[in-house]
Structure 1
Amino acid sequence: MTTPAPDAAARSTRIGLMQATGAYLLWGLLPLYFMPLRGVDAGEVVANRVVWSLALLFAVVAVTRRGARLWLALTSVRTLRLLAASAAMISVNWLVYIWAVQHHHVLEASLGYFLNPLVNVVLGVVVLREKLTRPQLAAVILAGAGVLVLASQAAEGLWISLVLALSFGLYGLIRKVAPVESVEGLTVETLLLTPVALAYMAWLAAHGGLALTASDTLVTVLLLIAGIVTAIPLLLFAAGARRLPYSVIGLLQYLAPSIQFVLAITLFGEVVTTAHLVCFALIWSGLAVFVVGSLRARRV
């Protein structure tokens, strides 16, 4: 018996919701993975993410028979240039995020990802010449006010928030215009970063600082599964995004930084200053205006 179309659509939406929620939950819990690696050089952690992610992605490409699409991306000069730029942005993002977690700046890291949607709006206006709606303008002004408050009173970790928001915003912008699908794009990015990652790991090994081979069992295992930790949420997100309306994805994206914020002030014992509270309050207000405005626009 053939399943009715509405039931199939509802089932697809449920699956997409589980996939996207799973991705953001995993991203939100990432500090729990990186904290035991606080004694490992952040660059080595990124290198392991790159190398082991490539191995996993090659397996995904082989199983899903995407080899022809991957080759098409590899033989396009324009695509390679764009993906080289996006690879640089995501590597900066990973490096700063891992360093922030290792040095007890999870609060500032979560702030960066709360800022990211509003940075995307600004980049859309500046680079893509998109028009700014009134709710978007109000949201950006509120977020800007929050950043100014934090800069004037507690600017020590503000650079972390800004670098994370800008690097991920630029990464998303480049991937938006790159003519490549998610799996192939991520595979090419990882392939481009792998020589640098291997060279850095070789340099560390030559100077006796490679934690992968010189640490206890827990650290070694955590580094070896870095590819799984990196690729699984990205693949879940890509699959969920195909099944869900963009407005739902827009709401779910705040799940990860919210979890990180809670972890920062509870489990990791980071101090929340008055400046932090004012900054977060203004940014959350801006996000509320942004979300409500987006939902109303989609109903028109």
Structure 2
Amino acid sequence: MSEERRGYLYGLLAYVMWGFFPIYFKLLRPASPLEILAHRVIWSALFVALLLTAMRNWRFLARVVRSPRLFGGIALAAVLIAINWGTYIYGVNSSRVVETALGYFITPLVLVLLAVTVQRERLRRWQWAAVAVGGVAVAVLTIDYGRLPYIALLLAASFGTYSLVKKRMSLPPAEGLFVESAVLALPALIYVGWLTTTGDAKFGHVSALHTVLMIVSGIATAVPLLLFAAAANRISMIGIGILQYVAPILQLACGLLIFHEPMPPARLAGFGLVWVALILFTWDALRHQRKRTTIGTTAATAEPIAALPPR
């Protein structure tokens, strides 16, 4: 198997795992979203610490300690991913899986807006069209829900901002996840201790299977991230961009087919507009990539000819 095919396999596995997260987090009830989040943080930190110990790769900590700016960026990323994880768990366990899927459908559009407002990048015409259609979709869904789809918007905004912060740092995924989890681990341990003291903790008090699933949440968090990193090193960003739709499609299927959440016509129309925006966005990205590849090939072909000595 070629490295590119291996990369697509890793990426597909990562997004399929993320796509079936609603089923997993439903199994963690009756624990509250905050208790699930706390355990997810704690067991993620422990699992990645064991992984890094096996790899004998702790040298990166010296770099983090020596750079207050880097540590501050990691702390900000930790807060953003905690908001994202907590919102997602809350959305799933309050029977809003369809809305969580919407959040990850509109994340690429939020990333485009962040590129304009924060990175000062210039958008192409079709990118603006995609953002405009996405804005109309949010308006339609707001009318349908009778409120802003705040879970979807918070998921998209938190993950989009998290991606922007991570882009400005250069820690590999395992190391980054460990430091982020470690930053959150102390408040998570304090919260779990408080729940245990007050007798409100569900961990260890529901069933043996529930306890195991709470512990495994750390592995379930780390493994798809590591698979995604392996994929990103082997395939193009266009390939990653197309694969990223696998997860919300599966999440939407879970919401509709497994949990039987409603999809009235107005909501379907809103999702339809989101998909139109994503088609425009993806088509423009593919077109732009093809154009750059053509220019690069032409330049590479022309260079040797220009270098030939005059006859």
Shorter-chain TM-score range:
over 0.9
Instruction: Give the match for residue 60 of structure 2.
Output: 69
Of 132, 149, 156 in structure 1, the residue corresponding to residue 140 of structure 2 is: 149
1:193-215 deviation per Cα after TM superposition (whole angstroms, max 9, x unaligned)? 00011001001001101111222
Structure 2 counterpart of 1:267 = 258
* Deviation readout 1:215-274 (Å, 9 max, x if unpaired): 212211110111111110011111111111000000000000000111111110000022
**Contact map agreement 1:47 1:201 (CA 8 A) in 2:** yes
Match of 2:161 among 133, 147, 170: 170
Equivalent pair of 1:20/1:237 in contact (CA under 8 Å): yes
2:100 to 100, 109, 122: 109
Give the match for residue 54 of structure 1. 45
User: Aligned partners of 2:267 and 2:251: how far apart in 1?
Assistant: 15
- Alignment partners' CA distance in 1, 2:272 and 2:89: 25
Q: What residue in structure 2 maps to residue 130 of structure 1?
A: 121
Residue 157 of structure 1, CA deviation: 6.7
In the alignment, the residues of structure 2 paired with residue 75 and residue 182 of structure 1 have an alpha-carbon distance, to the nearest angstrom, of 20
Does structure 1 residue 194 correspond to structure 2 residue 182?
no
The structure-2 alpha-carbon separation of the partners of 1:151 and 1:157, relative to structure 1 and needing over 3 Å to count, comes to closer
Distance in 1, Cα, partners of 2:195 & 2:66 = 33
Which runs of 5 or more residues in structure 2 are unaligned? 292-311
Corresponding letter in the other structure for 1:66: N
Structure 1 stretches lacking a partner, 5+ long: 1-9
Question: Which protein shows a greater Rg?
Answer: 2
Tell me which amino acid in the other structure corresponds to 2:253.
V
Deviations 1:6-38 (A, max 9, x none): xxxx71111111111100000000011011223
- Number of paired residues? 291
Could you tell me the percent identity over the aligned residues?
A: 39
Residue from 6, 24, 31 that aligns with 1:33: 24
Please give the alpha-carbon distance, in whole angstroms, between the structure 2 residues aligned to 1:213 and 1:183.
28
Q: Secondary structure at the match of 2:122?
A: coil
1:216 aligned partner: 207
How far apart, in 2, do the equivalents of 1:298 and 1:290 lie?
A: 12
1:294 lines up with 2:279 in the alignment:
no
The CA RMSD measured in Å over matched residues stands at 1.2
Q: Which moved more, 1:242-251 or 1:56-65?
A: 56-65
> Corresponding residue for 1:243?
234
TM-score (norm 1): 0.94
Residues 75-94 of structure 1 aligned to structure 2 (within 5 Å): 75-94=66-85
Amino acid in the other structure paired with 2:47: L
Q: With structure 2 as the length reference, what TM-score do the two structures score?
A: 0.91
